[in-house]
Amino acid sequence: MPDTIIERPVKLDIMSDPICPWCFIGKAHLDVALAANPDHPFNIEWHPFQLNPDMPRDGMGRRAYLEGKFGGKEGAVRAYAPVVEHAEKAGLKIDFEGMQRTPNTLNAHRLIHWAGIEGRQTAAVAALFKAYFTEARDIGDKDVLADIADGIEMDASMVLRLLATDEDTQSIKDRDAHSRAMGIASVPTFIVGGQHAVPGAQPPELWDKVIAEVSGK
């Protein structure tokens, strides 16, 4: 990043998907840096990006998903080996064995959007990551999403009513398409101050440097 100091607060836009393991790891790394820099200038907003936009609305069995994407369990094990390694280094545990379904995340992104209206967006993202990766819950299930909403002090009954409609569905799809049109092809992608893209699950040390730069330290 250049030496230009961006005025505070600094917008940190994060393109992410709740079933993206690198997004889970990337958030953990960012959290470490934010905790180490409590006076950080970031104003964080999460944006939708579906890893599997063509996933059936009700999701699909995990085994069928792995067969289609990686040719089976052995291919998946090879593909996920770096994920497991980096997750462990970040102090995270992912229950791949417990996952029974791979969900369509459209409704999860709707929940993140509604949580943002109530100032609970990052809490929603964290709860979705925990539910999917740590607890192996189906975050495509509306009742699971309502329970997650309740856990972050949102109105679960209202969330269920909204999920029964198409409220904000097209908006989520449009925002996803907008990110792709900008050239974003993978997540997580972080955009600092609307100017500088930081792709991937970057280590806390990099975020320490970015915070120092944008803070003029």
Domains and CATH numbers, the chain: 10-211 (3.40.30.10)
Per-residue confidence (pLDDT) for residue 74, from 0 to 100: 87
> Helical H runs in the chain?
21-36, 62-70, 73-89, 106-117, 121-129, 142-151, 156-163, 169-181, 204-215
CA angle 149, 160, 53 (to 5 degrees): 85
Q: pTM for the complete prediction? A: 0.94
What is the pLDDT at residue 46? Answer: 98
pLDDT at 6: 52
State pLDDT tens for residues 61-96: 999 998 899 998 889 889 999 999 999 999 999 999
Q: Which residue type does 66 have?
A: L
Q: How far apart are CA 176 and CA 29, in angstroms?
A: 24
Is 197 strand, coil or helix?
Answer: strand
- For 60, phi then psi, to 5°, come to -155, 160
pLDDT for 2 equals 45
Contact 192, 130 (CB under 8 A): no
Cβ neighbors of 67 (< 8 A, separation 6 or more) are none
163 within 8 A of 142, measured Cβ to Cβ: yes
